[in-house]
Chain A
Amino acid sequence: MSNYLYILWIPLLPLLSFVILGLFGRKYFSKISGIMGTATLFIATLVSFIAANQYFFVDGKVNGVYQKIIAFKYTWLDFSPNLSIDLGFIIDPISVMMLVVVTSVSLMVHVFSLGYMKGEERFATYYSFLSLFTFSMLGLVLSANIFQVYMFWELVGVSSFLLISYYFDRPSAVTAAKKAFIVTRFADLGFLIGILILGYYGGTLDIGLLIDRLTATQSTPFISITSASFLGASMLTWSLTLVFIGGAGKSAMFPLHIWLPDAMEGPTPVSALIHAATMVVAGVYLVARLFPIFSMDESALKIVTYVGGFSALFAAVIACTQTDIKRVLAYSTMSQIGYMMFALGISKNGGENGLGYMASMFHLFTHAFFKSLLFLGAGSVIHMVHSNEIKDMGGLRKVMPITHITFLIACLAIAGIPPFAGFFSKEEILMAAFHSNKLIYGVALFTAALTAFYMFRLYFSIFWNKEATIHSNNLTDKDHSHGEGPWIMKLPLLILAACAVGVGFIPFSKFVSSDGAAFETHTDLLFSITPVTITIIAILIAANLYKKQNVKSDKIVNAVGGFYTAAYKKFYIDELYIFITKKIIFPYIGQPIAWADKNIIDGFMLLLAKITSYISVSIKGLQSGKVQNYALYFFGGVLALSVLFIYIWK
């Protein structure tokens, strides 16, 4: 048990780095702060790899089942014997898997940022924020207590806010940061209420205990939570749905996704780390963490499934129309997270029935690598072109060969072409969907085709299409030419590309499954033919439309007309939100409340103050400053008391 105590260092090292860089970085070592942050994280990464090795290959397994190990536990708030909030670190397959993902992607982003953010004035601040984020995310994945999850959840939200608004002199970045924070915060309200309900019926906030109590169908907590109902649904459904709302907010599920595309205002490496690989999968992780409880409730799982499926399709359609490279990637992230969500939703608990669970975690794992690779590649391109718009790019394959190759690998991986990583995880998801829900399978298949289409639309538009003539001036000009960027920016691309190729071959089901027991997945070649063919067709269409400059794509746009505009405008969801907030909530709820606050609550206080001041003004004349008046009052008082005591009180 205690032989895992060293994993404390994994979150503590980034915390240390955050404190040191945050307090002293800018003043004393702004130049080397990047190296310091990266070096600290490198050690943390090594430690997490050691922990993963120890857990998966040495002593994590007991009788062929991976155990949940509490590495560290500390009673933090001890309210009463029945109610205490513990801080603890749990080690189980998914938390170890997340440790590896978070530290390695974060390390790559740290290294990449050394080149990308070079020369920024607030370089040290940037690194301290990155460290804060890494700390909170690691704390989140290791939390053994649901309240602790919530705390780190909020910390993650704060660091995301700080990093989105890194360029705080741009109004759009500030707006985006506020939007991200408010939307996720709003969702977190649901999460909090969900936690409270679970805690109330379960009698504990400890995740392990909670799962034990709420999955035993005979236990009192389970019976009480399922028999209590509110508005026609059991409290279990309510609490899980509310928890899922929190997860949907962080994971940008429809309709709480509106913050994610705007969050791309942050520096691109940040988008790679937070808004692609790690933070946005927190919602998936949360559902996976509580999956045994979710699996007890059909309706909550249905919600997860359909929200995930719809988000996947919805985002993929929008991604096809966007022209900002980072927004395309943002919507593709949302779509892939939708995949993970519905994979969880269709899964069952235990053994081979838990295929969806395993597939979801597998996809989370592979997605982290290829999506961060895509974002870092996009970062490279943006660094070179100084624009986010696709139309400013084109023909870059000769100018940035390494970015080109790695980006292509990532596109193939996300499209699900064998033998790249995305193929394996996506196959598992499709397989799970095929066996449990044909509708979702259809949606997933169509989304897969769309994914391939928009990714290759992006790829061909950036690296092929027209010749790179616009920026040839820049390239000859020595001052502006930095080519592909220094090796420090290429190295992470290459490492991540290697991961995007390689991680698919990991026999994931041996390590991660819903109940800890390893199982075999059956790769069915015949089954794979359909999705792969569809994907390849989609890629060919994209190649046909975007490889050379031509008007074919415009023709299609004209043909579908209104639908294209709607998708381009993101189906007016943002406008809808603005309409609801500005036209309904502000005038009909906000303003009456503001009026009541101003006039009734403040008014009451003002009234008290006014009465007091009126009385004091009217009696202040008594304090004349004349000694004799005071003496007179004194004697008057004595006289009155004498009369009182002698004649009246007797």
Chain B
Amino acid sequence: MQEITLNQILFVSTTLFFIGMYGLFTRRNLITMLMSIELMLNSVNINFVAFNKYLYPEKLDGLFFTLFIITIAAAEAAVAIAIIINLYRSHNSIDVDDATEMKY
């Protein structure tokens, strides 16, 4: 079996990142947008792990960053969902287009 190169992994993570970005820009549903953000975070995690393994195999810094990001992503998901619930209560919808009070 062929060895997996760093470039291939970076390609995967970049793909994942832009899929997340695409989702963030096109979806109007907040939950989906939150999921897209998680995708982008995960692509970053992949990057960290890959760089750690291929460039500095003797160190663990990249892995630590990944662990941190996973923790923060969990906390962020909790906060974001709280915001979404509040938005639902006040606007009866979780569509971002319905919440445009800050328009000029």
B25/A632 in contact, CB under 8 A = yes
A119 at the interface (CB under 8 A from B): no
B24/A620 in contact, CB under 8 A = no
B100 at the interface (CB under 8 A from A): yes
A-facing residues in B8-65 (Cβ within 8 Å): 21, 24-25, 28, 33
A613 at the interface (CB under 8 A from B): no
Give a binary string over A480-508; 1 marks a CB under 8 Å from any B CB, 0 the rest. 00000000000000000000000000000
A631 at the interface (CB under 8 A from B): yes
A476 at the interface (CB under 8 A from B): no
Whole-angstrom distance between the alpha carbons of A631 and B99 in the complex?
15
Q: Which residues of B contact A632 (CB under 8 A)?
A: 25
Q: Tell me how far the C-beta of A544 lies from the nearest C-beta in chain B, rounded to whole angstroms.
A: 91
B27 — nearest CB in chain A belongs to which residue? A628
B97 — nearest CB in chain A belongs to which residue? A626
A625/B103 in contact, CB under 8 A = yes
A620/B97 in contact, CB under 8 A = no
A626/B104 in contact, CB under 8 A = no
Q: Which residues of A contact B28 (CB under 8 A)?
A: 628
B1 at the interface (CB under 8 A from A): no
A626/B100 in contact, CB under 8 A = yes
B96 at the interface (CB under 8 A from A): yes
Give a binary string over B88-100; 1 marks a CB under 8 Å from any A CB, 0 the rest. 0000000011011
Give a binary string over A610-635; 1 marks a CB under 8 Å from any B CB, 0 the rest. 00000000001101111110011001
A628/B103 in contact, CB under 8 A = no
B104 interface neighbour in A620, A628, A631, A635, Cβ under 8 Å: A620
B101 at the interface (CB under 8 A from A): yes
A625/B101 in contact, CB under 8 A = yes
Q: Which residues of A contact B104 (CB under 8 A)?
A: 620-621, 623-625
Q: Which residues of B contact A624 (CB under 8 A)?
A: 100, 103-104
Whole-angstrom distance between the alpha carbons of A625 and B91 in the complex?
15
Whole-angstrom distance between the alpha carbons of A631 and B30 in the complex?
14
Q: Tell me how far the C-beta of A624 lies from the nearest C-beta in chain B, rounded to whole angstroms.
A: 6
B102/A628 in contact, CB under 8 A = no
Whole-angstrom distance between the alpha carbons of A554 and B11 in the complex?
121
Q: Tell me how far the C-beta of A639 lies from the nearest C-beta in chain B, rounded to whole angstroms.
A: 11
A628/B25 in contact, CB under 8 A = yes
Q: Which residues of A contact B25 (CB under 8 A)?
A: 628, 631-632
B103 — nearest CB in chain A belongs to which residue? A625
B21 — nearest CB in chain A belongs to which residue? A635
Whole-angstrom distance between the alpha carbons of A272 and B103 in the complex?
70
Whole-angstrom distance between the alpha carbons of A621 and B99 in the complex?
16
Q: Tell me how far the C-beta of B12 lies from the nearest C-beta in chain A, rounded to whole angstroms.
A: 21
B102/A625 in contact, CB under 8 A = yes
Q: Which residues of B contact A631 (CB under 8 A)?
A: 24-25
Q: Tell me how far the C-beta of B84 lies from the nearest C-beta in chain A, rounded to whole angstroms.
A: 12
Q: Which residues of B contact A628 (CB under 8 A)?
A: 24-25, 28, 33, 96
Whole-angstrom distance between the alpha carbons of A625 and B102 in the complex?
5
- Between A621, A626, A632, the greatest number of chain B beta carbons within 10 A of the residue's beta carbon is seen for A626
Q: Which residues of A contact B102 (CB under 8 A)?
A: 623, 625
Q: Which residues of A contact B97 (CB under 8 A)?
A: 626
- Between B25, B101, B103, B104, the greatest number of chain A beta carbons within 10 A of the residue's beta carbon is seen for B104
Q: Which residues of A contact B101 (CB under 8 A)?
A: 625
B96 interface neighbour in A620, A621, A626, A635, Cβ under 8 Å: A626
B103/A623 in contact, CB under 8 A = yes
Q: Which residues of A contact B33 (CB under 8 A)?
A: 628
B28 — nearest CB in chain A belongs to which residue? A628
B96 — nearest CB in chain A belongs to which residue? A627
Q: Tell me how far the C-beta of B41 lies from the nearest C-beta in chain A, rounded to whole angstroms.
A: 15
Whole-angstrom distance between the alpha carbons of A626 and B101 in the complex?
9
Whole-angstrom distance between the alpha carbons of A577 and B88 in the complex?
78
Whole-angstrom distance between the alpha carbons of A624 and B102 in the complex?
8
Q: Tell me how far the C-beta of A636 lies from the nearest C-beta in chain B, rounded to whole angstroms.
A: 11
Q: Which residues of B contact A623 (CB under 8 A)?
A: 102-104
Q: Tell me how far the C-beta of B51 lies from the nearest C-beta in chain A, rounded to whole angstroms.
A: 19
A625/B21 in contact, CB under 8 A = no
B101 — nearest CB in chain A belongs to which residue? A625
Whole-angstrom distance between the alpha carbons of A635 and B20 in the complex?
13
Q: Tell me how far the C-beta of A645 lies from the nearest C-beta in chain B, rounded to whole angstroms.
A: 19
Whole-angstrom distance between the alpha carbons of A620 and B103 in the complex?
9
Q: Which residues of A contact B99 (CB under 8 A)?
A: 625
Q: Tell me how far the C-beta of B103 lies from the nearest C-beta in chain A, rounded to whole angstroms.
A: 3
B-facing residues in A569-626 (Cβ within 8 Å): 620-621, 623-626
Q: Which residues of B contact A635 (CB under 8 A)?
A: 21
A629 — nearest CB in chain B belongs to which residue? B25
6 closest A-B pairs (Cβ-Cβ)?
A: A625-B103, A625-B100, A620-B104, A623-B104, A625-B102, A627-B96
12 sampled A-B residue pairs with Cβ under 8 A: A623-B102, A624-B103, A625-B100, A625-B102, A626-B96, A626-B100, A627-B96, A628-B24, A628-B25, A628-B33, A631-B25, A632-B25
Contacts A620-B104, A628-B33, A631-B25 supplied; 13 other A-B pairs, CB < 8 Å: A623-B103, A623-B104, A624-B100, A624-B103, A624-B104, A625-B101, A625-B104, A626-B96, A626-B100, A628-B24, A628-B25, A628-B96, A631-B24
